Amino acid sequence: MKIRNFILGAGIFVVYLLTLSYGIEAFYPSPNYEDYCEGGYYGHRPLKEIQCESSPALYSKEASCNSAGAIFRLEYNGEGCAVDGYCDECNLKFEEKDSEHSKIFFIISIIAGLFTLFIGYAFLATEPVGSSLLASGIGAIFMGSVGNWRYLGNIFRFLLLVISLIFLIWIALRLNKDKRKFKFWK
């Protein structure tokens, strides 16, 4: 009986997270890199090994482009040597759209996670539904946080983790209030 409940609970947890992730993606799709930049992230390099003269001016141009956060695209001559290049800022537009998408994904995941935590808490007496919904809510909050982690500042990361920890401790204390027999002051 307990193994069956564990398997059902794990199934609810996994399917919930997949449903949430694909549901967000279905109604609010993430941007594709290829829609903003042609030629892939690294561009095209020659297929064969060749000896070319290095160009300090080209390296300087590439360094200034990289410091701006853009991609430096090399242009090659007939022998396959880099002769020039240009600064392609397409990735900056993509990263802006990706940041917007990650924030929306984060907000939806946090709201769905909190809602699921409360529903799981309400249905806790019905095993394995209650405990798997609690785990699903925690998983949704985790999934949303991980998806947006690189765009969050250190203070916001810290506050998010502290609030999550306090909330989880509160739920654990509420669930186990009848089981506590030890009193510090007695």
What's the pLDDT band for 36 if we cut at 50, 70, 90? confident
Cis? peptide before 46, omega within 30° of 0: no
Put simply, whether the predicted model's pTM sits higher than 0.75 gets the answer no
How confident is the model over 53-85, as pLDDT tens digits? 777 888 888 888 888 888 888 888 877 788 888
Q: Confirm if 94 and 143 have CB atoms less than 8 A apart.
A: no
pLDDT at 184: 54
**Domain boundaries along the sequence of the chain:** 2-32+93-175, 37-89
How confident is the model over 147-169, as pLDDT tens digits? 888 888 889 888 888 888 898 88
Nearest in space to 73 (alpha carbons), one of 89, 55, 93, 54? 89
